[in-house]
Amino acid sequence: MSIVIVVGTRPEIIKMAPVIKELEKRGAEFIFIHTGQHYDYEMSKIFVEELALPQPNESFALENTNPAAQIGEMMIKLEKALESYRSRKPRIMLIQGDTNSMLAAGLTALKLGMRIGHVEAGLRSYDWRMPEEHNRRMIDHVSHYLFAPTELAKKNLIEEHVWGEIFVTGNTVIDAIDMYFDKVKEVEARVMEQIRFDEYALVTFHRAENVDNPQTLRDFVRILKKSPIPIVFPIHPRTRKRLQEFGLWNEVENIQHLQILPPQGYFEFLALMKNCKVIMTDSGGLQEEATHPKIRKPVLVLRTSTERPEAVIHGFARVVGTNPVVVLAELEKILSENPKLPEQSPFGDGKAAIRIADITMSRLET
């Protein structure tokens, strides 16, 4: 009996890395499949090498950008790939998160009679505009083993009457930072040399519901222009494209207190987080990473909802939307308050991968 591990985007690779390392350590047999959503494929392939993970047994990029076609293409390619491993009796598929490729992987496993283990189960934003919300709910309802990062995530799953087994494991993102933090220290001096400012806010902005909306993107540019603190902005390809399409790129390029960076590697990005004053983002994963004891940074969530309410409850994050007046007022408040943040992360103790590996291995023979 063997385990199948499917990853696609960079966050999935980061969050699955501790599980892969743990299974390797135990000599477990697994089939490692790397797939990718178009432009992210090459970038995420580099991440596999950077995190010193084994070479994937199978690797393919998805050609389609239309969500429905992408899910269909992924299911066809994945079924074909798994067909060649039938002799290894793939029994459990581990998937992470809530992208289209993870939903496709889960549905494929289900149709092939495999059991599904969902890492990071039970996250809910209750915001139906987010494609990820549709995906994560569907994945949770077809999963056999639900690895909830927190008690709150477990509560969501119980309330929805999922039929799989629920385990609270912590979030593997905390394990990953523990595991790779020495690498961050190696690149830190080089990363910080290129930053023009002594103090800065680290900003990321890339979600479809934000950057595909011209008004929201204009509001975002106003926030950048009026920020009371210099900004370092590693820019996502999608965001750059939309700023150019909506005629906002020149405006952004001319902001004196803004430094635009290309997309960063994992270690480089953590170094930027560790040294910033505050984070402004619409990313989900950053809300978790900011709570790690070695980072501990306040976060303004540039969205109207979050599927990581634990970060808000414990004082790390504030959901502020994208209205410039509100965001700038909250930014001023954080800069003047210098909030005291908890010493521990609400997302776990760095042992999530051990728990996930224990459960997966124990279920493999049953």
Domains defined for the chain, CATH in brackets: 2-170+351-364 (3.40.50.2000), 182-337 (3.40.50.2000)
Segment 151-180 shows an average pLDDT of 98
CA distances to 128, 129, 132, 282, 286 from 208, rounded to whole Å, are 13, 10, 11, 10, 17
Strands 58-62 and 299-301: unpaired
Find where tokens 């933090």 sit.
181
Lowest-pLDDT range, 26-40, 109-123, 208-222? 26-40
Residue 62 pLDDT: 84
Segment 108-134 shows an average pLDDT of 94
Residue 37 pLDDT: 64
Higher-pLDDT residue of 2 and 130 is: 2
Residue 146 β-bridge partners: 118, 166
Catalytic member of 118, 141, 161, 206: 206
Higher-pLDDT residue of 37 and 60 is: 60
Give the CA count within 13 Å in the CB-facing half-sphere of 148.
22
Please report which confidence band the pLDDT of residue 40 belongs to, taking 50, 70 and 90 as the band edges: low
Segment 40-67 shows an average pLDDT of 84
Pair 286, 279: CB distance under 8 Å: yes
Residue 288 pLDDT: 97
Segment 60-80 shows an average pLDDT of 90
Lowest-pLDDT range, 5-9, 276-280, 327-331? 5-9
Token digits of residue 85: 């491993």
pLDDT digits (tens, 9 = 90+) for 219-228: 999 999 999 9
Find where tokens 């004891």 sit.
293
pLDDT digits (tens, 9 = 90+) for 281-306: 999 999 999 999 999 999 999 999 99
Residue 279 pLDDT: 98
144 assigned to active site: no
Q: What is the rounded average pLDDT for all residues in the chain?
A: 95
The answer, yes or no, to whether residue 38 has pLDDT greater than 60, is: no
Helices (H), 36-123: 40-50, 67-83, 100-111
The one-letter amino acid at 10: R
Please report which confidence band the pLDDT of residue 123 belongs to, taking 50, 70 and 90 as the band edges: very high
* Interatomic CA distance for residues 199 and 103, integer angstroms: 40
The answer, yes or no, to whether residue 319 has pLDDT greater than 80, is: yes
Residue 39 pLDDT: 58
